Structure 1
């Protein structure tokens, strides 16, 4: 008999084997890990002394609630709802102020160009293209990001996000993926490229590939502003002003849930088709709860996430604004290049509840999801809409002038949630997989799903006459 192993230990191991032999449905690995943990805890209790008046073990008590089979998911959804509610409620006013300020500054720049006798094409490129694109990126994106990212960082600092991964772990196992996919998906909420890199923690190549191909279905920081903006402008018309923020927050939560559902569904489909295999297991050790360092977390999230994302958006929006203006002002025949492209895309766009301008915005927005809405705004304004965008209500008026309904906004949200990854993420996928085949599939799979979902939703709504 080996040193350190007594008769009682062998009897204990024999009892475990009997449990498995008698048809216990628990995986043998889970049973062994559970027994090892309980045995280690027993040893710790025997060799350590604690004060009888010690404070309550809050970690265990909180975990009993936050990771509960019955309360874990409702609490998770409630926390997401509160974060979105605060974001939407707090972002409207500063967005309006920034839009008004940039609108005033655009007028002054226009007056300056006229005073200097600058040619119209130079004013168009620099003011109507470059400045307008950058200003709308800042006014639409900065306020919600400046609120959302610090709140999300506080939950991470507190130690709650690993509990979210723990709650989702068993769902990913049932979907044929790896439990660690819940962690990589959580990383995707910040940036899908970072989520792709984090898939390295999954040892199995098959399950790592599943995690890479499905990470795009959770909204990254570039898509949060689009979801929040569309929900705020169009999806709350049927309720009163006081309830609109709550409804908008619930709709964004619903979008997140739908993205998670698509992640699980596509993971299951891939595990049964292209990436068949036996799922592996892992043990997730939950870190202790920590008192959030509010000031430090706020500053870190502003500089590491908000300003980083805004900088990337501005860098990509500047040339995109110029390209959009050029496409709208260079004519081929009697129409601009933008009009030709929009007219060609219009029938397909109408079939899936969008239009040619929206599809062009998503195509030109491939470098970064952050610039899709600003490109769309510039494309609409370049097409002849004589409207000064001074606040979000003016932005809604611009969309309504181009035939938008609540169905259009819903499809923009769905397409933004589900369509192909941004250029940065696709480049990251190519570097991680070292395969052109999987990189192309990483773009085509979500794009196909986005088209199908928007088409089905549009046809159902039109069939029942729920929209004019």
Structure 2
């Protein structure tokens, strides 16, 4: 029997196992291995007649259910976005970020009033450039920090580890496994830590694929853009629309992972085995610390870029160069409905 016959027999055996058990060969082998271990332990290990069922076990029966796991995860994330995202121009809202954004806006207004006495180009730079430009982004910082806070709560309570488990079945269909879920979830906060977290993935093909699709996860820097667009076109359902944009990013990432694993990084996904930690009550201090660390990272990385771009745009506008540049590039965006120079410059 030559090499091709062996590989063909292997593929046929794997397909037969999948047809019989409805699972991948790695999962079947792991189940059988642990089943054998369990049978051996029954003969050599004495246990109490009534085994204690913990609260973690009871919760996992629902959260890790084959059919309910993914819907529960989507529901949890939808609730987070509903709580975090303010419903601008809508009479009812239960977003806890809205009053915080009001405080930031009042503070920026006070700063602009104090700086209004500065004359000349420097006063225009401070009021119109720094406070007006950077402030339009700073006002969304409470939403970003709150999103990091709730993600930290979910991580500290042990739920995020369950997310890796329940998403393993879907990710395995595109050539990845549950270990790729955590770096992708970290991408919600910032893609850079998400890509750095891929170092924990041992298999090179899985690691490279996860790194390449991580930028499709909507990071915190994109949230202000989402909020402005959704607030303009979908004011009555902003939380749901923001959630939908994040889901679209996840679906695109999964689709690209399938494409990469079928072209650039061919091969079967590595087996995935993980130990689920017990649920615990998250500590507020730890959640706040994680929120601050991730939020500070965003402010330093994104804030620096935003500050430089705002200064450049202000300088072009102050010297009368911005409008001619906008009119020159506006025809490029006219087919998209942005024929005026202002939106062309904004894009």
TM-score range, shorter chain: 0.7 to 0.9
1:283-339 Cα distance to aligned partner (Å, 9 max, x none): 2314223313332233213321223323434333332221110021224xxxx1x22
Distance in 1 between residues matched to 2:15 and 2:229, nearest whole Å: 55
For residue 27 of structure 1, report the CA deviation from its aligned partner.
3.5
State whether structure 2 residue 66 is matched by structure 1 residue 69: yes
* CA 82–353 in structure 1, closer or farther in 2 if over 3 Å, else same: farther
CA contact (8 A) 1:132 1:321 kept: no
For residue 179 of structure 1, report the CA deviation from its aligned partner.
4.5
Give 2:260's match in structure 1, choosing from 250, 267, 270: 270
Aligned ranges for residues 88-237 of structure 1 at < 5 Å? 88=85, 89-111=95-117, 113=118, 118=119, 120-141=120-141, 143-236=142-235
Query: Which consecutive residues of structure 2, in runs of 5 or more, have no partner in the other structure?
Result: 1-9, 86-94
CA contact (8 A) 2:177 2:272 kept: no
Aligned ranges for residues 331-346 of structure 1 at < 5 Å? 331=320, 336=321, 338-346=322-330
- Aligned twin of 2:27: 30
* CA 23–322 in structure 1, closer or farther in 2 if over 3 Å, else same: closer
1:353-386 Cα distance to aligned partner (Å, 9 max, x none): 5566556446xxxxxxxxxxxxxxxxxxxxxxxx
State whether structure 2 residue 330 is matched by structure 1 residue 352: no
Give 1:319's match in structure 2, choosing from 301, 308, 317: 308
- Aligned twin of 2:250: 260
1:15-35 Cα distance to aligned partner (Å, 9 max, x none): xx9x95993214432222111
CA contact (8 A) 2:130 2:307 kept: yes
- Report the TM-score when normalising by structure 1: 0.62
- Aligned twin of 2:92: none
* CA 205–253 in structure 1, closer or farther in 2 if over 3 Å, else same: same
Q: Indicate the RMSD between aligned Cα atoms, in angstroms.
A: 2.8
- Aligned twin of 1:372: none
How many residue pairs get matched?
323
Distance in 2 between residues matched to 1:171 and 1:188, nearest whole Å: 18
Distance in 1 between residues matched to 2:97 and 2:210, nearest whole Å: 33
SS of the aligned residue for 1:222 comes to: helix
